[in-house]
Amino acid sequence: MPDAIDQVLHGAVDLHCHSGPSPMPRRIDHVEAARQAEAAGFRAILVKCHYHSTVFDVLAMRNELAPISTQVFGGVALNSQVGGLNPHAVDLNLKMGGRMIWFPTISSGAHLDNSERDPHVREHFVPRGIRQSDLVDILDDRGELRPEVPEILDLAKEAGALVSAGHMAPDRTLAMLTEAHRRGLTRLIVSHPNYVLNAGTGDVQKFVALGAVIEHCVIMYDDEERFFPFQTLLDWIDLIGPEHTSLGSDLGQVGNPLPMDAFRRVVGRLLDSGISERDVRTMIVDNPTRLLGLDS
């Protein structure tokens, strides 16, 4: 099985790596994340921070990253820390090489509601005593999309960037995806639908119909005591098919497994569960490669 796992992982892409620097404690920085990904045969990783654009992190580390064959990309999350729905932040991110625009994560209504119910979550996302995120909503008081949303989508489309629904609730995610689909965007992703978002199967089917790939995070199935039973992942894959599914690590934090270790365990369990090597590679190689525009 180890040889089979190595073979399946070759050329994989992790679109959800939480390496550092970050206000939140990290086990590894972007350089070490790239080294470990290279050792596992990964083609690329995309590094994420809820608080700042990671594009400049990658540029600052480019000399250290240059000898590493695994490519490292960054993006920007549209939380209050960067001005929320800020077309200037998006434009700067994309012009400097960014590949991902996350709509609000820790500033979304769904995330803030979750934080209000769970003191541990609330404390976790205000590291170093930084200010609590303000709400960033893509809808105005009348329930209409704010004008910045189509502007941001057009910037992403022009740059060929990937757009994520962040941590927005299903209704907001659907509104954004509907507008993105109308504008012809084809690189769209919705992450961990059953975590924070609380999206149901019907919601997810609507997201997929609008062209979104559904990303499931290996951390949530590597540790069943903290998150979800492994069968839940199999059920999601069965619902929409590997062709609409991607796997990301959502790892790099202190206190959690390393991204590549969790990838290996979850891929091994997928193979043991009867998912074919071809279908696993669709989820960890083909789909994220297309979304990141590496073969365009």
202 exposed, middle or buried (CB, 10 Å; 0-12, 13-18, 19+)? exposed
Residue 296 binned pLDDT confidence (cut-offs 50, 70, 90): low
Q: For residues 97 and 191, give the distance between their C-alpha atoms in angstroms, rounded to a whole number.
A: 22
> Per-residue pLDDT tens for 215-244?
999 999 998 778 999 999 999 999 999 999
Average pLDDT estimate for 187-215: 97
Whether the per-residue pLDDT at 142 is higher than 90: the answer is yes
pLDDT digits (tens, 9 = 90+) for 12-55: 999 999 999 999 999 999 999 999 999 999 999 999 999 999 99
Residue 12, CA distances (Å) to 32, 80, 115, 122, 223 in order = 17, 32, 33, 33, 22
Average pLDDT, the chain: 96
Domain borders along the chain are 2-292
Structure confidence at residue 261 (pLDDT): 98
In CATH terms, the fold of domain 2-292 is TIM Barrel (3.20.20)
